[in-house]
Structure 1
Amino acid sequence: MKGKLGKASAFTLSFALLASVFSSCSSNATQPAGSTQKSEEASISTIPLPIVSKPITLRMFVAMDAKVAATMKNYNEIAVFKELEKRTGIHIDFIHPASMDGAAIKEQFNLMIASGDIPDLIYYNWINDFNGGPNKAIKDGVILPLNDLVDKYSPNLKKFMNSDPRANKQMRTDDGTIYVFPEAQAPDQYAKVNPNPNPAFQTFGWQIRQDWLEKLNLKSPETIDDWYEVLKAFKTKNPSGSGKNDEIPLAPKGAGDLQNWVRAWGINYGFYKDGDTVKYGPYTPEYKDSLTTLAKWYKEGLIDPDFALTDAKQFDAKVVGNRAGSWTGSTSGTFGRFVQLMKAKDPTVKLLGTVPPYVKGTKSYNFNIDEIKIASGGGVAISAKSKYAKEAAMWLDYGYSPEGALLNTFGIEGESYKMVNGSPQLLPEITNNPKGLSIDEALSKYSRGSGGLAFVMTPEIWHQRMALPEQQQVIGLWKAGSYDRTMPPGVTPTVEESTKIASILSSVNTYRDEQFLKFVMGQTPISEYDNYMKSLKGMGIEDAIKIQQAAYDRYMARK
């Protein structure tokens, strides 16, 4: 849920058919070669509480969620984990990286692996961030293959997987190995509980000062040409009324937010598919067109000149300080929070979203997954060095049971929610927090219902997290883009492919990011684009595309 559009939602699977999850199903899981967690014990059908007769402690590596960090220093402060300890007898000792920056998290993770002091549980993106992918992590003795553990000690997850073939497909590598316990959530179930007659499930996108548009008699922009006219008007016509002409027409929070704009040209800032052909966005002719436009906007002062160095606090100050005209962000952590904060200061402020921008004559694209998914290989894995693999599997599985799902999603009855006609409803402490916290920030004190870790989200949470009328409007607008070019989740290269592609992309992505800034800021002229393309080719980008194509083809052939 943050920064780049690929993060807006985090590690997810569908909650669809949850009722059937708890009603039946023998396992149809395939066992990969080399699976080592054999046991003569009979498979359990329910999770016994407490799980252990004597208390034990499991250590877990997990990066802090920004919504949690707003009020707490450690996940142990969250009420859900205190309650889980009471119910299960298992205490979790959380290990948080010192920084929430992606590069810093990866660096601390690598140092931890190199030290050999690996905690019992690890929340990580095993496809994108582990060199060699999940199968390599298993081969190296970092994490366990979970097939036997799930089969014997995780009845709720096993039934969940059997409830929908897409879930079963997306949770595995090509050889059938299960490697994480995912967060599960429900785009289709969201539609059933959303009171909006035209429900949608899209939680990240473009946001704009609607009151500024109305003041200048402008329509909401759709095409890139529309956006150019709107941004010029925001720059020159002082819609804030400050008299200073200090408006920032487009205010990205870092380079990652600005990189989202390349999607208007029908490409992604990474891999995507065009039909069944895998492509790499920054290695296309369309990418040159996007850079040409963004460089023009930057030169004309339409983009915040400090965008590359803007952190979260500076970004907030620019938006809440009535200077920013447009930006990208999430439905709740960004949009909903700004609606509440800015309306409290000035009731005339209006925020809204726009459809994903597109080039005139083409169509709007989304590159977020809008279906059942385990996003890009993320979730909680069990360490190969854990002495408590069985107990860990049972503790994680509790989150997929009805009572565990409710606890993880809504928190503590009477403190963060109450039951109304059999349905959980967030309390005013959460939906209208007296300290001015957003719904997700307030909810994060009690549960993980705003996203992250391993459990099934109770679907009623969605329309309550998106309860503001403005949020209901914005998610419908964001939904307008086509998902035709989105890569499916769970595409996993082989160990050999992962090692090779990681080596290639390490150089390619660093160079891509450096050149993005230089092209946009005018430090490298667009006339050098052909040389940029030659450099990417020399770094092996075409080999990386072939690897991703092969992995995609295998994924599509999975049964």
Structure 2
Amino acid sequence: MKGKLRKASAFTLSFALLASVFSGCSSNTAQPTSSTQKSDDASISTVPLPIVSKPITLRMFVAMDAKVAATMKNYNEIAVFKELEKRTGIHIDFIHPASMDAAAVKEQFNLMIASGDIPDLIYYNWIGDYNGGPNKAIKDGVIMPLNELVDKYSPNLKKFMNSDPRANKQMRTDDGTIYVYPEAQSPDQFAKVNPNPNPAFQTFGWQIRQDWLEKLSLKSPETIEDWYEVLKAFKTKNPSGSGKNDEIPLAPKGAGDLQNWVRAWGINYGFYHDSGTVKFGPYTPEYKEALTTLAKWYKEGLIDPDFALTDGKQFDAKVMGNRAGSWTGSTSGTFGRFVQLMKAKDPTVKLLGTVPPYVKGTKSYNFNVDEIKIASGGGVAISAKSKYAKEAAMWLDYGYSPEGSLLNTFGIEGQSYKMVNGSPQLLPEITNNPKGLSIDEALSQYSRGSGGLAFVMTPEIWHQRMALPEQQQIIGLWKAGSYDRTMPPGVTPTVEESTKIASILSTVNTYRDEQFLKFVMGQTPLSEFDNYMKSLKGMGIEDAIKIQQAAYDRYIARK
């Protein structure tokens, strides 16, 4: 989840249409079969199956995953949810925003809240995207605090939280409130099936055409200085062999991908901490150095001139068209997919990763969470208006049981996996899909094991999803960066702080993103950087940093 700028969607849905969509869904929801708020309900030690004596329907708002969208139109088509309905008696009516674009999802979320027709379950980033944060969402009557529900009706999640103090800490706000059922995975559990420490949490990084490096007798770049020499060679020496000199040395998919490069200067595109001192990357002297380098690269034609307008399809065309030399992306959805597709097209193609770049004389940094993964504030919350809070809590909790974890992670035995010596193993239909789907795309037809929603991942999935030798290699390369400056997940401002910081950052981030493009493209000279810094200060960025510092300090003090 990571400082990326996404283009605003051209799609706009009218309030009336959206309201009608949600109200239309409610007509299919069964009437409550039991009270969900009785204080005299006994706590449960296991989730009973089926959960309800008569079938009920719960509605869930969740943005569509691109890996699912490759073959399906709705999560109801995924085999795991059909099986969950058989086991629990609960049908989930999924409500997907019409666009997967982050801005469009947020727009439709806000329209949904304004309509007052709020579904039972909502998958959302409550820290990053809800104005005021999770406690404000509770105060607004959008979602409910989950402490009592978890204590009484979620024995499996309780067990997971008690098994690792990091999980217990990250899943709460400063006052101890639990607000979501998270997607969870524990490094300790993954370590049991993988000798490498914390293998699951560096799933994003720098990717390069290794065959081009070899053709030009170049070493894999590490420092920014190395990268400059490599990108120049990619541009001038025609490593693709096309004879057209049409290579794109660095091919970002949108401005967000290029913004990741500021990490090479030891800063993040958003907040980070330096030995406990919170900083905002685009409000530092190092940011000017980063912009100066990127502007130089852009001027020399080393960066795709159309990077800011490049969408997913255009990005794929440039990589698959043998024109792109390097880019950033995920281990599976980007790297693994390209390895499989490009090798099928040309067996001589070699892709590999690089260590996170750094300036010579400094060190490499990562800014991705390297702990328990709880989606950094994201997860499934229960609506304050739901008539089925108790049932929803039990349905969600099943995903943290051994059986529910296996189902959510691997899918259906005999269809997507088989048991071998007591360990689940993906079938060839998933790992070598006859239709040419990537492992994650094929797996997404059966489960949520490629990521998303509320459950704890079965640890054996990791290396099976990353089964390609190239994927195994890049994990080690990407993890070479230090995590010393990464902000921990779950840092939560108070309601008052969240409202203030959201107001500040709505202006700051817009200005930051606009100026990033202008500086890099040469529309604004770097001689104007001091004025840029003064503008950020006038917008209140220093107040925002103080708020984030206070929230960080409270998080560190949590027990």
* TM-score class, shorter: over 0.9
The change in CA–CA distance for 1:34 and 1:390 in structure 2 (over 3 A counts) is closer
Greater mean deviation of Cα atoms: 208-217 or 367-376: 367-376
How big is the shift at 1:6? 13
**Aligned residues of 2:36 and 2:390 also touching (Cα < 8 A):** no
- Report the Cα distance in structure 2 between the residues aligned to 1:135 and 1:274, rounded to whole angstroms: 27
How big is the shift at 1:367? 0.3
**Aligned residues of 1:417 and 1:427 also touching (Cα < 8 A):** yes
The change in CA–CA distance for 1:110 and 1:29 in structure 2 (over 3 A counts) is closer
How big is the shift at 1:166? 1.2
Q: Give CA deviations for 1:274-333 in whole Å, capped at 9, x if unaligned.
A: 001000000000000000000000000000000001001110111111000000001111
The change in CA–CA distance for 1:36 and 1:520 in structure 2 (over 3 A counts) is farther
How big is the shift at 1:4? 4.1
Structure 2 runs not aligned, ≥5 long? none
How big is the shift at 1:19? 44
The change in CA–CA distance for 1:199 and 1:113 in structure 2 (over 3 A counts) is closer
1:387 aligned partner: 387
**Aligned residues of 1:232 and 1:302 also touching (Cα < 8 A):** yes
Q: Secondary structure at the match of 1:7?
A: coil
The change in CA–CA distance for 1:73 and 1:475 in structure 2 (over 3 A counts) is same
- Report the Cα distance in structure 2 between the residues aligned to 1:369 and 1:226, rounded to whole angstroms: 27
The change in CA–CA distance for 1:22 and 1:91 in structure 2 (over 3 A counts) is closer
The change in CA–CA distance for 1:78 and 1:36 in structure 2 (over 3 A counts) is closer
- Report the Cα distance in structure 2 between the residues aligned to 1:241 and 1:271, rounded to whole angstroms: 42
The change in CA–CA distance for 1:237 and 1:409 in structure 2 (over 3 A counts) is same
1:100 aligned partner: 100
How big is the shift at 1:160? 1.0
**Aligned residues of 2:358 and 2:364 also touching (Cα < 8 A):** yes
The change in CA–CA distance for 1:197 and 1:144 in structure 2 (over 3 A counts) is closer
How big is the shift at 1:371? 1.2
Greater mean deviation of Cα atoms: 182-191 or 246-255: 182-191
**Aligned residues of 2:185 and 2:457 also touching (Cα < 8 A):** yes
Q: Secondary structure at the match of 1:22?
A: helix
Q: Give CA deviations for 1:320-373 in whole Å, capped at 9, x if unaligned.
A: 110000000011111011000000011110000000000000000000011114
The change in CA–CA distance for 1:9 and 1:305 in structure 2 (over 3 A counts) is closer
Greater mean deviation of Cα atoms: 377-386 or 164-173: 164-173
- Report the Cα distance in structure 2 between the residues aligned to 1:248 and 1:341, rounded to whole angstroms: 19
How big is the shift at 1:34? 24
The change in CA–CA distance for 1:386 and 1:371 in structure 2 (over 3 A counts) is same
The change in CA–CA distance for 1:36 and 1:82 in structure 2 (over 3 A counts) is closer
How big is the shift at 1:40? 1.2
**Aligned residues of 2:80 and 2:408 also touching (Cα < 8 A):** yes
**Aligned residues of 2:35 and 2:387 also touching (Cα < 8 A):** no
- Report the Cα distance in structure 2 between the residues aligned to 1:301 and 1:389, rounded to whole angstroms: 56
- Report the Cα distance in structure 2 between the residues aligned to 1:98 and 1:434, rounded to whole angstroms: 29
**Aligned residues of 2:353 and 2:474 also touching (Cα < 8 A):** yes
- Report the Cα distance in structure 2 between the residues aligned to 1:259 and 1:38, rounded to whole angstroms: 50
Q: Give CA deviations for 1:468-510 in whole Å, capped at 9, x if unaligned.
A: 0000000000000000000011000000000000000000000
**Aligned residues of 2:240 and 2:323 also touching (Cα < 8 A):** yes
How big is the shift at 1:109? 0.2
How big is the shift at 1:30? 34
The change in CA–CA distance for 1:22 and 1:317 in structure 2 (over 3 A counts) is closer
How big is the shift at 1:17? 47
**Aligned residues of 1:30 and 1:176 also touching (Cα < 8 A):** no
Structure 1 runs not aligned, ≥5 long? none
- Report the Cα distance in structure 2 between the residues aligned to 1:180 and 1:351, rounded to whole angstroms: 38
**Aligned residues of 1:2 and 1:9 also touching (Cα < 8 A):** no
Greater mean deviation of Cα atoms: 476-485 or 164-173: 164-173
How big is the shift at 1:29? 33
1:197 aligned partner: 197
Q: Give CA deviations for 1:141-196 in whole Å, capped at 9, x if unaligned.
A: 00000000001111100111111111111100011100000011133333332377
How big is the shift at 1:26? 37
1:31 aligned partner: 31
- Report the Cα distance in structure 1 between the residues aligned to 2:402 and 2:537, rounded to whole angstroms: 51
Q: Secondary structure at the match of 2:195?
A: coil
**TM-score, normalisation: structure 1:** 0.93
How big is the shift at 1:14? 40
The change in CA–CA distance for 1:36 and 1:273 in structure 2 (over 3 A counts) is farther
**Aligned residues of 1:200 and 1:476 also touching (Cα < 8 A):** no
The change in CA–CA distance for 1:284 and 1:38 in structure 2 (over 3 A counts) is farther
How big is the shift at 1:42? 1.4
- Report the Cα distance in structure 1 between the residues aligned to 2:155 and 2:12, rounded to whole angstroms: 19
**Aligned residues of 2:120 and 2:386 also touching (Cα < 8 A):** yes
Q: Secondary structure at the match of 1:397?
A: helix
How big is the shift at 1:416? 0.2
Q: Give CA deviations for 1:354-405 in whole Å, capped at 9, x if unaligned.
A: 0000000000000001111423210000000000000000000000000000
- Report the Cα distance in structure 1 between the residues aligned to 2:119 and 2:408, rounded to whole angstroms: 22
**Aligned residues of 2:28 and 2:57 also touching (Cα < 8 A):** no
Greater mean deviation of Cα atoms: 70-79 or 4-13: 4-13
**Aligned residues of 2:201 and 2:369 also touching (Cα < 8 A):** no
The change in CA–CA distance for 1:550 and 1:195 in structure 2 (over 3 A counts) is closer
- Report the Cα distance in structure 2 between the residues aligned to 1:44 and 1:38, rounded to whole angstroms: 14
Greater mean deviation of Cα atoms: 116-125 or 183-192: 183-192
The change in CA–CA distance for 1:20 and 1:532 in structure 2 (over 3 A counts) is closer
Q: Give CA deviations for 1:498-546 in whole Å, capped at 9, x if unaligned.
A: 0000000000000000000000000000000000000000000000000
**Aligned residues of 1:254 and 1:311 also touching (Cα < 8 A):** yes
**Aligned residues of 1:20 and 1:163 also touching (Cα < 8 A):** no
- Aligned residue-pair number: 559
**Aligned residues of 1:190 and 1:463 also touching (Cα < 8 A):** no
Aligned residues with identical type, % of pairs: 93
**Aligned residues of 1:210 and 1:352 also touching (Cα < 8 A):** yes
Q: Secondary structure at the match of 1:380?
A: strand
**Aligned residues of 1:9 and 1:203 also touching (Cα < 8 A):** no
The change in CA–CA distance for 1:365 and 1:15 in structure 2 (over 3 A counts) is farther
- Report the Cα distance in structure 1 between the residues aligned to 2:529 and 2:132, rounded to whole angstroms: 31
- Report the Cα distance in structure 2 between the residues aligned to 1:198 and 1:247, rounded to whole angstroms: 36
The change in CA–CA distance for 1:344 and 1:36 in structure 2 (over 3 A counts) is closer
Q: Secondary structure at the match of 1:111?
A: helix
- Report the Cα distance in structure 1 between the residues aligned to 2:346 and 2:104, rounded to whole angstroms: 38
**Aligned residues of 2:186 and 2:373 also touching (Cα < 8 A):** no
**Aligned residues of 1:271 and 1:278 also touching (Cα < 8 A):** yes
1:140 aligned partner: 140
The change in CA–CA distance for 1:329 and 1:178 in structure 2 (over 3 A counts) is same
**Cα RMSD after superposing both structures:** 7.9
The change in CA–CA distance for 1:263 and 1:82 in structure 2 (over 3 A counts) is same
The change in CA–CA distance for 1:333 and 1:105 in structure 2 (over 3 A counts) is same
2:161 aligned partner: 161
